[in-house]
Structure 1
Amino acid sequence: WDLASRKCLANLEGAHSKKVSGLTFANDGVTFYSCSTDGTVKSWQAYPSSSSDDEDMATRHGPMTTYRAANAGSFQSIDHHRSDNLFVTASDSAVDVWSPERSSPILSFDDLWGSADTANHVRYNPAERGLIAHTSADRGFGLFDVRSQSALHKVVLSMRANALEWNPMEPMNIAVASEDYNAYTFDMRKLDRPTMIYKGHISAVMALSWSPTGREFVTASYDKTLRIFPHRAGKARDTYHLQRMQRIFTVNYSADNNYIISGSDDTNLRLWRAQASQSVGKQATAREESALRYRQTLIRKYKHMPEVKRINTSRKLPKFIKSQTALQTVQKVSRQRKKDNEFKNSKPGTVSFPVERNKVVVKKVE
């Protein structure tokens, strides 16, 4: 696709026999890889030359090479290394590291801390060359070290982790999208509790993506909304939704930090502005930029005043989202009232109030 013209440049029909579960570009910006639940990984050329029009290829774009792993089953996710010519895949049985020059994995992590569950998401760390993070169907996510060829740490959450992404500017931090309607950020040096909880969705968070600046990230949810969270705040600064948009399963930031691309269950890709009030298509004059900075300064200065805070944070939401949010609030108040009554009518020291962050991680596996 070409975002500027909103046109489809190429349609690779029959690329895989089953669902395409992952795509990633190589470092050269020309080669990209696709993985599928049919058990294959294929490499393609985004800009084929006239010499690449070979009769042996299904399309002008490829596939150039097909990769298969023994007992891999179906591939669920793929990611390419930032600097080295390597890519990593997550499958039913293992997390595999591949070299484009070889038809089989050069390294395979098949013993996922004694768990036989599917690895459903995998990502390379943007700074540590040999560090890989993955999520699995047993509600856990773990870290691998390629240099020592060993599994480092794994934590099991209270509910399943659907996706994870490393912060590009603070690569020790990792964001996790969870089935419990929340997103979490963890410090890889201390995985026993999250550093922040991001709330607001009323259904499972299916995907997330960091902005290139690392100061905020966007989440895609089963409740048919996108939410943009500042890194240091647990509440979304903006919520995007449409009447016809269905459940959202993938989301990504553009490299210039100006746009967000989402893919939903209604078979559509949508392009959103990262800043909803930002003008597009014309260059702002110096006077307009000065006025915009002045308004933003006023908002930051008076954002704690009740009226300014209400205007600045309020967003129009669908009736279904409002009703479910109100229901969740009532349920939370009821649970808190029950806990208070239990505390009042029990012996001192028998009832405790655990911190919410301590309840996210069930156990840590070395």
Structure 2
Amino acid sequence: MQTKTNSIAWNPMEPMNFTAANENCNCYSFDARKLEEAKCVHKDHVSAVLDIDYSPTGREFVTGSYDRTFSCDASYVISGSDDTNLRLWKAKASEQLGVILPRERKKHEYMEAVKNRYKHLPEVKRILRHRHLPKPIYKAGLLRRTMADAEKRKEDRRRAHSAPGSLMPRKSVRKNRIIQEIE
């Protein structure tokens, strides 16, 4: 790849699939049988992704980044930092710890059923997708998207004002970071 890959994690349920944490703020999921392009590009970190690991079910993975953020996974995530501390985080910050009374459990089940029933509505989709980000991470993400949009506009303008056939063909996002396969 064009930038350094910091970590690789194999999916425990689909042993032919793996995900690579990369220096360019993205993670790339590959199928080992078809390495010429990534199956999926996972974005939204604003700094280098340092580590990655799958949950035992193989449906989710957690990433650790230099921007000090992580993705949601199961119920807890353990993170380590360069100040030699380990931290235990709840993946769902609003989830209550400890004993839940039957009345509270019924309320949570009812609320989950309502969310599941109306998840196709745009307003409910927006609420379900919403994740709170710290202000510096949010601003860095906006800056990163602005820079990416500017680069895309520049490339589009270069293509529009150049002679036909003089530019290289477009590469998809899934292929543009892969240089060569080494066996």
Shorter-normalised TM range? 0.7 to 0.9
Query: Structure 1: which 5+ runs fail to align?
Result: 1-156, 230-256
The alignment partner of 1:307 has SS state of helix
**Identical counterparts, % of pairs:** 43
Residue of structure 1 aligned with 2:52, choices 190, 194, 208: 208
Aligned-pair CA distance for 1:193 = 1.4
Q: Could you say what secondary structure the match of 2:154 adopts? A: helix
2:92 to 259, 275, 298: 275
2:15 aligned residue: 171
Match of 1:228 among 72, 75, 80: 72
Q: Could you tell me which residue of structure 2 aligns to residue 346 of structure 1?
A: 162
Report the secondary structure of 1:228's partner residue.
coil
Secondary structure of the residue that 1:225 maps to in structure 2?
coil
* 1: CA distance, partners of 2:178 / 2:154: 24
Q: Which residue of 1 aligns with 2:177?
A: 360
Instruction: Report the residue type matching 1:346 in the other structure.
Output: S
- Is 1:316 the counterpart of 2:160? The answer is no
**Is residue 193–residue 360 contact of structure 1 (8 Å, CA) maintained in 2?**
no
Note closer, same or farther for the CA distance 1:292–1:363 as it changes in structure 2 (3 Å cut). Answer: same
Greater fraction strand = 1
- Equivalents in 2 of 1:264, 1:283: separation in Å? 32
SS in 1 for 2:180: strand
Change in 2 beyond 3 A, CA 1:318/1:283:
closer
Residue number in structure 2 paired with 1:196? 40
Residues matched between the structures, number: 182
Q: Which amino acid aligns with 1:206?
A: L
Asked if residue 330 in structure 1 is aligned to residue 174 in structure 2, the reply is no
Answer whether contact 2:72 2:92 (CA < 8 A) is retained: no
Q: What displacement does 1:301 show?
A: 4.3
Residues 327 and 284 of structure 1: is their aligned pair in 2 closer, same or farther, counting only changes over 3 Å? same
| Distance (Å, rounded) in 2 between the aligned partners of 1:172 and 1:281 | 38
When residues 345 and 302 of structure 1 are mapped into structure 2, their CA distance, relative to the original with a 3 A threshold, is farther
Structure-1 separation of matches of 2:95 and 2:71 = 17
Residue equivalent to 1:264:
81
Give the alignment's TM-score, normalised by structure 2: 0.87
> RCO greater where, 1 or 2, for CA within 8 Å and sep 6 or more?
2
Cα distance, 1:280 vs structure 2? 2.3
1:80-115 deviations in Å (ceiling 9; x for gaps): xxxxxxxxxxxxxxxxxxxxxxxxxxxxxxxxxxxx
1:192 Cα deviation from its structure 2 partner: 1.6
The match for 1:161 is 5
Deviation at 1:283, TM superposition (A): 4.9
Partner of 1:218: 62
What is the distance in 2 between the residues matched to 1:168 and 1:293? 30
Structure 1 residues 267 and 345, CA gap change in structure 2 (3 angstroms): same
Aligned letter for 2:146? V
- Structure 2 CA distance, aligned partners of 1:304 and 1:216? 22
**Does the 8 A contact of 1:194 with 1:360 survive in 2?**
no
Contact 1:161 1:179 in 2 (8 A): yes
The 3-state SS of whatever aligns with 2:68 is coil
| Structure 2 letter corresponding to 1:158 | Q
Indicate the structure with greater helix content.
2
Is 2:136 aligned against 1:292? no
SS of 2:95's partner is coil
Aligned partners of 1:178, 1:291: CA distance in 2, in Å?
42
Q: Is the 8 A contact 1:177 1:184 kept in 2?
A: yes
CA displacement, residues 239-284 of structure 1 (integer Å, 9 cap, x when unaligned): xxxxxxxxxxxxxxxxxx5322111122211112233333322155
Unaligned runs of 5+ in 2: none
**181-190 or 316-325, which deviates more:** 316-325
CA contact (8 A) 1:160 1:178 kept: yes
